[in-house]
């Protein structure tokens, strides 16, 4: 496979991960990087030594050698840069969350044309446990789905000694808080494991900001949620329920389950081991018997372990990546509906 020539815009924490992958993957050639912040540029040169370094996205996008770009900077700026990239004929991989709202995602879809573009919210679905769970569910191993559920709680730790990043919990910078920071992973993971067969119809939700006792743990001026819960009714009487919180007044724990008419799975998005996925098999005579999924289960192997490696392969194979813009739009529509429901106290209908 001819290496895809890539430029990375944004050289912070997540951008550095993309730079590392681009520097090592045999089917990717790192051509350039860009960042507005001099310290980030210096750090990127020291660690990854990209052939070209730019101080802004415009100059990088004007580089004709670059085929594809990764956007790894705050959410509020990504749509405008992605649209400029499409205009210059670049394929685009966008960090999560995909955008500030569904309307922006629809803009991206309209402007993409024949280019390859997607979102990094697929990151948690490249593990062996996710692959095995997906194969079992999509092949009908659980029968007809009834409920898809996750509850992931992170208890607050000690008061931090260092300043907290402002973008994480300020709506104007990130579009929201824990829901867009982690909820997009949760939703992408659950929707992906079930083969994207869930068609959301109605959302009823609530969000909460940080408890007063932990305001010192977050950046001053933070106004976004640190805890949310939502029930999403889908077509075919399937219910998707999600809850996630950080800076919580309880100990950390996680509970993930997918229940069907012929069995269920208990798993954890953060645990990559196949034997951590518990398959509850059922028979009329024996009831429920629990076993774990192992690599002995027959599933298609994949050489791609990250959104960027999958994105580069998708370009050469002329397909959309694991989470395409259309799939990311489903996640964003649910996200927007959760915020609207929480703000109004009413159930919110999701359009097609």
Per run of 10 residues, the mean pLDDT along the chain (length 352 residues) is 95 95 95 96 96 97 98 94 98 96 97 98 93 94 97 93 80 86 95 96 97 90 93 97 96 95 94 87 90 63 78 97 98 97 97 68
Query: CA-CA distance, 53 to 60, in Å (whole number)?
Result: 8
pLDDT (0 to 100) of residue 339: 96
Q: What is the pLDDT of residue 296?
A: 43
pLDDT given at position 160: 87
Distance of CA 287 to the CA centre of its chain: 36
DSSP state of 183: I
Task: Quote the CA–CA distance of 17 and 306 in Å, as a whole number.
Answer: 10
CA contacts within 13 A on the Cβ side of 184: 29
CA dist., res. 2 & res. 243, Å (int): 43
CA dist., res. 242 & res. 261, Å (int) = 20
Q: Per residue, what are the HEC states of 54-95?
A: ECCHHHHHCCCCCCEEEECCCHHHHHHHHHHHHHCCCEEEEC
Would you state the pLDDT for residue 305? 84
Contacts of 267 (CB under 8 A, 6+ apart): 129, 133, 256, 257, 258, 276, 277, 278
Instruction: Find out whether 256 and 245 touch, Cβ atoms under 8 Å.
Output: no
The domains located in the chain, with CATH, are: 4-123+306-314 (3.40.50.720), 124-304+332-349 (3.30.360.10)
pTM: 0.93
Q: Is 53 helix (H, G, I), strand (E, B) or coil?
A: strand
DSSP-H helix ranges across 49-200 = 57-61, 75-87, 102-112, 128-138, 171-174, 178, 184-193
Token digits for 155? 């208890």
């Amino acid at each position: 496979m001819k290496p895809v020539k890539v430029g990375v815009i944004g050289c912070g924490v997540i951008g550095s991960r993309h730079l590392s992958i681009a520097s090592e993957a045999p089917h990717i050639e790192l051509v350039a990087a860009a960042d507005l912040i001099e310290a980030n540029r210096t750090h990127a040169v020291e660690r990854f030594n990209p052939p070209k370094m730019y101080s802004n996205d415009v100059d990088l996008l004007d580089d004709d050698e670059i085929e594809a770009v990764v956007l790894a900077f705050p959410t509020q700026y990504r749509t405008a840069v992605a649209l400029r990239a499409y205009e210059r004929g670049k394929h685009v991989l966008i960090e999560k969350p995909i955008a500030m709202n569904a309307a922006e995602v629809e803009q991206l879809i309209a402007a993409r044309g024949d280019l390859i573009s997607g979102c990094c919210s697929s990151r948690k679905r490249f593990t062996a446990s996710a692959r095995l769970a997906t194969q079992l569910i999509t092949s009908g191993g659980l029968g007809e789905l009834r409920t898809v559920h996750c509850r992931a709680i992170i208890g607050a730790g000690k008061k931090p000694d260092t300043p907290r990043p402002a973008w994480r919990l300020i709506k104007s910078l990130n579009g929201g808080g824990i829901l867009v920071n982690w909820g997009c992973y949760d939703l992408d993971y659950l929707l992906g494991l079930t083969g994207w067969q869930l068609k959301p119809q109605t959302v009823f939700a609530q969000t909460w900001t940080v408890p007063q006792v932990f305001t010192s743990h977050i950046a001053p001026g933070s106004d976004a949620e640190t805890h949310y819960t939502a029930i999403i009714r889908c077509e075919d009487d399937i219910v998707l329920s999600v809850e996630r919180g950080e800076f919580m007044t309880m100990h950390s724990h996680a509970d993930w389950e997918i229940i069907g008419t012929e069995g269920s799975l208990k798993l954890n998005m953060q645990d990559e081991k196949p034997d951590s996925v518990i398959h509850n098999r059922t028979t009329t005579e024996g009831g429920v018997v629990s076993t774990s999924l192992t690599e002995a289960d027959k599933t298609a192997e994949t050489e791609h372990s990250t959104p960027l490696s999958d994105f580069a392969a998708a370009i050469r194979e002329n397909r959309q990546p694991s989470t395409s813009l259309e799939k990311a739009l489903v996640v964003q529509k649910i996200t927007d509906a959760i915020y609207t429901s929480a703000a109004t106290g009413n159930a919110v209908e999701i359009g097609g």
